[in-house]
Structures are given as C-alpha cells and as structure tokens.
Amino acid sequence: MSHSDLMRHAKRVVVKVGSSLVTNDGRGLDEQAIAQWSAQLAAMVRSGKEVVMVSSGAVAEGMKRLGWATRPKALHDLQAAAAVGQMGLVHMYESKLREHGVASAQVLLTHADLADRERYLNARSTLVTLLDLNVVPVINENDTVVTDEIKFGDNDTLGALVANLIEADVLIILTDQTGMYTADPRRDPKAEFLHVAQAGDPALESMAGGAGSGIGKGGMITKVLAAKRAASSGASTVIASGREPDVLLRLMRGESIGTCLLAHTPKSQARKRWMADHLQLRGAVRIDAGAVAKVVQEGKSLLPIGMTAVIGDFSRGDVIAIQDESGREVARGLANYAASEARLICRKSSSALEAALGYVTEHEMVHRTNLVLVAAA
C-alpha cells in the first residue's frame, strides 16, 4: 500500500503534538494552534475516523502560570508545574473540541500502566470505548507521579505506546520541523529531505539529530525511535510540521506532507505474530466443539459459555492457550479474566456473568482481535 493510500484508508489515528507547538515555544498555551488542531480532529471524527490526541505542554503551561521564566531542575518543581499546567491544557482542548460538537476525555498514563498486563487491558478497553462513543481522548504522561518522562524524553514514546495499545493504523507526530532530512540541513548543504522510508531502518537513527529545543526534551531521534516502536504493532508514522495549514486533514486526504516511516508488517499480522510466538503460556481454557467451530471456522470471539475447563493460574492480560476437549491447542489469545474468575464463569451466558462475578469486565473471555489461530488448527 502506498503512502497516500495508507493515509486515506487509516481508520484509527494517534496524533501527537510537542511542547514547542502547544505552547508557542514556551510562551504559554497557543490557543489559536489548539483551536486549529481541534477543528481538524472534529472533522476527522465526523468523517468516521477514530482519533486520539497525545499532547505535551503541561509543564510549560504550568511554568507560565507559576511565573517561572526558566525550566526548573528539581523534579518536584517540574511535577508541580505539570499538575498546575494540566488544568489549562485539558480545559483548552475540551472547550475547543466542544465548539465543534465533539466530546473529549482526559487520560493520564504512565509507562507502568502499559507494562502491567491488567492495567494495559484496562487502559485499552477504556480508550476503545471512548472511540466507540466518538469521544476524542486527550492523553498526557502522568507527570505528577512519574519522573522518567520528565527527566529523559518527550511524549513521542508515549504516542508510540498508545498507537501500540489501541492498534492504530497511523501515528502522526506534529513538530516544529517540516520532517526528516538525511542529515542536519543547517550543517550539511547536501542534506536531502526524506519523504518515505521504512520504520526501523538502522540508517534512520544515524541520520537523526540530537536534542530539540529547551522547552521540550525530544529531538528527531526520539521520533525515529517512536516510529520503530509503533511499527512493531503495524502502525506507520508521519513526522510533519504542526504549523502547516490543515495538516491533519490534508494528510488524511493522502497528500504527501512531511516524512512517512512505513511499518514493515500489517498491524493484524504484527499482533497475531506476537501472540503466536509467545513461548510461555500461563494457562489454558478447554472449549466445546461448538465453541471450536465459532473460533476456528467463523473467526468469532471466545465466550465463557463455550468453556468447559480452566487450566493453570493466569492473570487478566496473560496469553493463554485455547484447547479443544482433547487438549489440542487450536488458538491462543489475551485473557480478559484471571483463572479464578474464568472458573466461575465457565458455561455461563453473557447475561449471567454479573451474577457469577458481581461485575462484568468484558463479555468475551478472549476477544477476536486478541486471538490468533495456531498452525495445527
């Protein structure tokens, strides 16, 4: 699929904007810029796209509100600035999106949320539900409780992690640069603009420059590494100027803007390959012949009513084997319920789950998007 076809057909999109853009190079929130992006996000939602906004800017806005001219070095000062600035950042997006009739939601994430299996699935379920409701989640690193992002990076990594989390088709990183060059054009007159390349190509990392501005901490290298990470789940990345008029809408129309770093593997194959290659399975569920037919032949989700037994001690989010009644593995996937819960809902219909557990996390034991057939099946 070509760059333009990829963008036109993209259904689920993560947009990441950096601090220098959001805060007009540190002068405080750029209301006009956020208004323009919000108008474009709203238009994307109306056209049927599912859009998540990952926005930097909380620390810089907090610095302005606190009257601090220079970025402090102490972590607790930075965290305090993030807490103060987050109020203005989210309110700005909420009010600008609401002007276009689109609802928004604040989601604060940490890398630990995405490393923990259960919290990963919880975050994914929340974001997918918001997208189903045509709500635009506005995501930022939860800087008031973690320090790694404040110390070392920008939100480029977080943008890639969110793209992985929701299985986005495209990650769009808006920056104050027009895209990527083969070398620093300020130092090398032979530097050429890079329109399209393969994400994860080692040559890209040597081409990427060093640190960015003094407001944000990311440089082109963080964007190249983010593209590599996003590609692991099949998402391609576009690095483009956030100051380009209607940049998001023009990208969605297939216009060639910025640098496109293409994922080497389609997203469905990437996720399924990861599950298929999972070496350590924490447990299994046995299913009846009817459920085997639904899962294997019809490509359906695994419902609790089809389960006849639960083997092992696994947690929500673990990769588990799905076996027929003879014990032959026919599929594997991410468990929506821990083993102890699964034993309580075996042979239960979807309507009976709440009575059995006292709550309902998901109606499926393994959703079809988190399930892969094994070769023997």
Pick from 271, 292, 323: which residue ends a domain?
A: 271
**16 contacts 173 by C-beta, under 8 angstroms:** yes
Against a cut of 0.95, is the pTM above it? Answer: no
> How crowded is residue 132: how many other Cβ atoms within 10 Å of its Cβ?
9
CATH number, position 42? 3.40.1160.10
Q: What's the domain count of the chain?
A: 2
User: Apex CA 78: angle with CA 111 and CA 24, to 5°?
Assistant: 95
- Mean predicted lDDT score pLDDT of the chain: 88
pLDDT, tens digit, for every residue of 295-322?
999 999 999 999 999 999 999 988 999 9
Say how far apart CA 330 and CA 323 lie, in whole Å.
Answer: 6
User: What pLDDT, on a 0 to 100 scale, did the predictor assign at position 183?
Assistant: 81
Q: What is the mean pLDDT of residues 122-141?
A: 93
Say if residue 129 is in the same domain as residue 253.
Answer: yes
Helix (H, G, I), strand (E, B) or coil at 261: strand
Q: What proportion of the chain, given as a percentage, has pLDDT over 70?
A: 90
Say if residue 263 is in the same domain as residue 293.
Answer: no
213 is written with which tokens?
């501005």
Say if residue 180 is in the same domain as residue 282.
Answer: no
Pick from 271, 292, 315: which residue ends a domain?
A: 271
Of all helices (H) and strands (E), which one includes residue 130? Answer: helix 117-132
**Confidence class for position 75, pLDDT limits 50, 70, 90:** confident
User: What pLDDT, on a 0 to 100 scale, did the predictor assign at position 59?
Assistant: 87
Instruction: Read off the amino acid at residue 135.
Output: V
Say if residue 298 is in the same domain as residue 235.
Answer: no
Nearest to 120 by CA among 83, 153, 167: 167
Q: For residue 190, with 0-12 CB atoms within 10 Å meaning exposed, 13-18 middle and 19 or more buried, which class applies?
A: exposed
Say how far apart CA 168 and CA 188 lie, in whole Å.
Answer: 35
Say if residue 145 is in the same domain as residue 172.
Answer: yes
Evaluate if residue 150 carries a pLDDT over 50. no
Exposure class string for 217-241: b at 16+ Cβ within 10 A, else e: bbbbbbbbbbbbbbbbbbbbbbbbb
Instruction: Read off the amino acid at residue 248.
Output: L
**Confidence class for position 175, pLDDT limits 50, 70, 90:** very high
Evaluate if residue 212 carries a pLDDT over 50. no
pLDDT, tens digit, for every residue of 235-258?
999 999 999 999 999 999 999 999
CATH number, position 342? 2.30.130.10
User: What pLDDT, on a 0 to 100 scale, did the predictor assign at position 375?
Assistant: 64
**Confidence class for position 43, pLDDT limits 50, 70, 90:** very high
Say if residue 248 is in the same domain as residue 308.
Answer: no
Say if residue 250 is in the same domain as residue 288.
Answer: no
Q: What proportion of the chain, given as a percentage, has pLDDT over 90?
A: 58
Helix (H, G, I), strand (E, B) or coil at 328: coil
Helix (H, G, I), strand (E, B) or coil at 172: strand
- Please report the beta strands in the chain, taking only residues with DSSP state E, as ranges in sequence order: 12-17, 50-55, 104-109, 136-141, 170-175, 180-181, 193-194, 196-198, 236-241, 259-262, 283-287, 307-312, 319-323, 329-334, 371-373
Instruction: Read off the amino acid at residue 122.
Output: N
User: What pLDDT, on a 0 to 100 scale, did the predictor assign at position 376?
Assistant: 53
Pick from 221, 241, 271: which residue ends a domain?
A: 271
Domain span including residue 133? 3-271
pLDDT, tens digit, for every residue of 313-351?
999 988 999 999 999 999 999 999 999 999 999 999 999
Q: For residue 50, with 0-12 CB atoms within 10 Å meaning exposed, 13-18 middle and 19 or more buried, which class applies?
A: buried
DSSP state of 330: E
Nearest to 160 by CA among 151, 149, 150: 149
Evaluate if residue 27 carries a pLDDT over 90. no
- What's the first-to-final CA gap in the chain, in angstroms? 30
Say if residue 221 is in the same domain as residue 347.
Answer: no
**Confidence class for position 5, pLDDT limits 50, 70, 90:** confident
User: What pLDDT, on a 0 to 100 scale, did the predictor assign at position 229?
Assistant: 87
**178 contacts 191 by C-beta, under 8 angstroms:** no
pLDDT, tens digit, for every residue of 80-89?
998 999 999 9
Q: For residue 32, with 0-12 CB atoms within 10 Å meaning exposed, 13-18 middle and 19 or more buried, which class applies?
A: exposed
Q: What is the mean pLDDT of residues 214-220?
A: 52
Evaluate if residue 148 carries a pLDDT over 70. no
User: What pLDDT, on a 0 to 100 scale, did the predictor assign at position 217?
Assistant: 42
CA dihedral sign of residues 252, 256, 259, 262: positive
Evaluate if residue 377 carries a pLDDT over 50. no
Which of 144-148, 282-286, 305-309 bottoms out in mean pLDDT, i.e. has the lowest? 144-148
φ, ψ for residue 92, nearest 5 deg: -65, -50
CA dihedral sign of residues 131, 133, 136, 142: negative
Say if residue 302 is in the same domain as residue 249.
Answer: no
Evaluate if residue 187 carries a pLDDT over 90. no
Say if residue 245 is in the same domain as residue 282.
Answer: no
Say if residue 117 is in the same domain as residue 19.
Answer: yes
SS (H, E, C) 244-256: CCCHHHHHHCCCC
Say if residue 52 is in the same domain as residue 164.
Answer: yes
